[in-house]
C-alpha cells in the first residue's frame, strides 16, 4: 500500500450511538434542583437528626464554568459509597448543596478542600461567602440551620430566572423611613424565635475540656430582611439601620421576657445598643432576673456605639456593676489592643474578629500584640469568626483563650477537644 500523508482528525467520541440516533449534546448548564431540594427538606423536617450539609459557593467564582459541576460530582462520588445518605443539588444561582449522613467529618472536609483547591487553581473568589468566610465551602449541621437554608432556597425562586442572585441582592434599594415603619409594625406580632441564633464561645486551653464560656445570642439580620422586607437593604443606610437595631433590641427583650429559665445554668451574651440598656424595656427584663441570673448575662456592646456614646457607656458600666452583668466590647481591632486600656474601660471581655489584618502582621508586630494581650489581667479576649485552624492556632499562640466561629462549631460537632485538634494541627503544620 502507498504511504498516505497523515490527516488531522477530530478526536473520536467513543460513546456508542445506535444506528439512526444522534449523539446527545453535552449540556451547557446543569439542571437546577431548587424545587426538588425544597420539597425534600420540607418533607424531612421531622427527621433531621444526623443530616449535615455542605454549601459550595460556586457563584462566587470569578470565572464560572459549568463543566466544574461534573468535576465536583466525580469528587463527591468518590466518598458517596461509604455514606448512609448523600445527594448533591445544583442551585439556580450557581451554588451546589450536598446533603449527607454517615460520613466522617475528616473525610468530608478533605473532599471539600480538594474541590476548593481544584476550583481556585484556575480562578479565584470574588469575595467572602454569605457566612462571612473566605472559603468556597461551608459545612453545617442541618438541624441547626434548617430555617436559614429553607429561606435561602425560597429566596432563589424570587430572583428573576434564578440567574444571578448576588447581582440582584446588590441592586436592592436602601430601606426608607416609610418602609422601616412598616417593618416595625409587623414586628409587633412577629415571632422572632426562628431568627434568634446562638453560637458558643469556648475556652481553648488544654485543661478546660471545651468549656463554654457563654453562648452569644444574635439575630440573623439578613434572614429577617428576606422575610420582612425582601426588596430593600436594611443595612445600606447606617443611621436607619442603627435605629432598626434599637427597635430589634426591644423585640428581642420582649421575646426573652416570655421565659428566662433558659438562662439558668447557661451564660448568654446579648448584642444590645447602649440606648437599649438604659430603656424601660431592659428595666422590665432586668426586674425578672435574680442576681444570680444577671451574673449569667454578658452585654455585648459594639465599639462604634461605645465611641459615639461614651457618656452613656459610663452609665451602663455603673448600672452593670450594680446589677451584676458582665460587659463585652465587640469588634475591637489590633489598634484597640495596642492603644486602649480595656481594664480602665471596665469591660470583662473584648472580642476581635479573625481577619487578614491579624494574619499579615510581621513578627515584631505579633510579639507586641501578644504582649499587650497578656498585660490585660481582668479583661478576657475572644477571637471570633474563626473559619479555619490557622485562626485558632493564632489565638493560642498569642494568649487568647476564648474562641468562636465555624471551625470551633465543626470541631465541637465531631466530639473532639479543641486542644487536641490544635495539637494535631500544630504537629502537621510543623511537619509541612
pLDDT digits (tens, 9 = 90+) for 306-327: 988 999 999 999 999 999 999 9
pLDDT of residue 49: 67
pLDDT of residue 429: 52
Highest mean pLDDT among 39-53, 98-112, 156-170, 392-406: 392-406
Who's near 177: CB < 8 A, 6+ residues apart? 240
pLDDT of residue 24: 43
Could you tell me the pLDDT band of residue 47, with boundaries at 50, 70 and 90? Answer: low
pLDDT of residue 183: 87
If one counts every other C-beta atom within 10 angstroms of the C-beta of residue 246, the result is 15
pLDDT of residue 398: 95
- Residues 333 and 367: their CA atoms lie apart, in Å, by 16
Residue 30 has pLDDT above 80, yes or no: no
Query: Burial level of 301, CB count in 10 A (0-12/13-18/19+)?
Result: buried
Cell of 297: 448575662
Query: How much of the chain exceeds pLDDT 90, in percent?
Result: 30
Could you tell me the pLDDT band of residue 294, with boundaries at 50, 70 and 90? Answer: very high
Per the listing, cell 477530530 goes with: 10
pLDDT of residue 46: 56
Could you tell me the pLDDT band of residue 160, with boundaries at 50, 70 and 90? Answer: very low
Residue 211 has pLDDT above 90, yes or no: yes
Report which of 371, 370, 365, 401 is spatially closest to residue 383, judged by C-alpha positions. Answer: 401
pLDDT of residue 381: 97
pLDDT of residue 44: 66
pLDDT of residue 202: 97
Report which of 345, 337, 414, 324 is spatially closest to residue 373, judged by C-alpha positions. Answer: 337
- Residue 218, beta-bridge partner list: 197
- Residues 34 and 164: their CA atoms lie apart, in Å, by 14
Arithmetic mean of pLDDT, 258-279: 83
Residue 16 has pLDDT above 50, yes or no: no
pLDDT of residue 5: 46
Q: What is the tens place of the pLDDT at every residue in 77-118?
A: 888 877 788 889 888 888 999 998 888 888 888 899 899 999
Residue 72 has pLDDT above 60, yes or no: yes
3-class SS at 150?
Answer: helix
Structural domains for the chain: 34-162 (3.30.70), 173-431 (3.20.20.450)
3-class SS at 270?
Answer: strand
Question: What secondary structure letter does DSSP report for 161?
Answer: G
120 or 153, higher pLDDT: 120
Residue 159 has pLDDT above 60, yes or no: no
Exposure class string for 76-95: b at 16+ Cβ within 10 A, else e? beebbeebeebbbbbbbbbb
Q: For the chain, what is the radius of gyration of the CA atoms? A: 25
Could you tell me the pLDDT band of residue 395, with boundaries at 50, 70 and 90? Answer: very high
Residue 299 has pLDDT above 80, yes or no: yes
Amino acid at each position: 500500500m502507498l504511504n498516505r500523508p497523515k490527516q488531522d482528525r477530530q478526536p473520536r467520541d467513543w460513546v456508542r450511538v445506535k444506528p439512526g440516533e444522534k449523539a446527545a449534546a453535552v449540556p451547557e448548564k446543569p439542571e437546577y434542583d431548587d424545587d426538588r431540594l425544597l420539597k425534600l427538606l420540607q418533607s424531612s423536617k421531622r427527621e433531621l437528626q444526623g443530616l449535615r450539609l455542605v454549601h459550595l459557593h460556586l457563584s462566587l467564582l470569578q470565572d464560572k464554568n459549568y463543566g466544574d459541576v461534573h468535576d465536583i460530582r466525580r469528587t463527591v462520588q468518590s466518598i458517596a459509597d461509604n455514606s448512609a445518605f448523600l445527594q448533591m443539588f445544583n442551585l439556580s444561582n450557581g451554588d451546589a448543596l450536598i446533603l449527607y449522613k454517615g460520613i466522617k467529618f475528616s473525610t468530608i472536609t478533605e473532599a471539600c478542600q480538594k474541590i476548593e483547591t481544584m476550583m481556585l487553581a484556575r480562578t479565584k473568589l470574588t469575595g467572602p461567602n454569605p457566612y462571612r468566610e473566605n472559603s468556597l465551602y461551608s459545612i453545617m449541621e442541618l438541624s441547626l440551620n434548617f430555617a436559614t437554608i429553607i429561606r435561602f432556597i425560597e429566596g432563589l425562586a424570587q430572583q428573576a430566572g434564578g440567574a444571578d442572585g448576588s447581582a440582584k441582592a446588590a441592586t436592592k434599594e436602601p430601606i426608607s423611613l416609610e418602609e422601616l415603619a412598616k417593618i416595625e409594625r409587623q414586628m409587633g406580632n412577629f415571632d422572632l424565635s426562628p431568627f434568634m441564633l446562638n453560637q458558643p464561645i469556648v475556652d481553648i486551653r488544654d485543661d478546660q475540656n471545651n468549656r463554654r464560656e457563654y453562648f452569644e445570642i444574635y439575630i440573623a439580620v439578613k434572614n429577617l430582611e428576606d422575610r420582612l422586607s425582601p426588596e430593600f437593604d436594611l443595612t445600606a443606610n447606617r443611621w436607619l439601620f442603627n435605629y432598626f437595631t434599637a427597635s430589634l433590641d426591644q423585640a428581642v427583650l420582649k421575646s426573652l421576657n416570655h421565659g428566662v429559665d433558659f438562662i439558668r445554668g447557661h451564660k448568654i451574651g446579648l448584642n444590645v445598643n447602649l440606648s437599649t440598656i438604659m430603656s424601660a424595656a431592659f428595666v422590665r427584663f432586668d426586674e425578672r432576673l435574680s442576681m444570680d441570673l444577671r451574673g449569667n448575662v454578658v452585654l455585648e456592646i459594639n465599639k462604634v456605639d461605645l465611641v459615639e456614646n461614651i457618656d452613656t457607656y459610663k452609665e451602663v458600666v455603673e448600672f452593670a456593676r450594680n446589677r451584676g452583668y458582665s460587659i463585652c466590647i465587640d469588634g475591637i481591632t489590633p489598634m484597640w489592643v495596642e492603644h486602649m486600656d480595656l481594664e480602665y474601660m471596665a469591660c470583662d471581655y473584648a472580642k476581635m474578629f479573625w481577619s487578614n489584618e491579624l494574619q499579615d502582621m510581621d513578627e515584631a508586630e505579633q510579639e507586641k500584640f501578644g504582649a499587650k494581650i497578656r498585660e490585660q489581667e481582668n479583661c478576657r479576649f475572644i477571637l471570633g469568626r474563626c473559619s479555619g485552624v490557622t485562626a485558632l492556632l493564632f489565638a493560642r499562640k498569642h494568649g487568647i483563650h476564648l474562641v468562636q466561629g465555624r471551625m470551633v462549631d465543626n470541631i465541637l460537632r465531631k466530639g473532639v477537644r479543641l486542644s487536641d485538634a490544635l495539637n494535631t494541627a500544630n504537629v502537621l503544620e510543623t511537619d509541612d
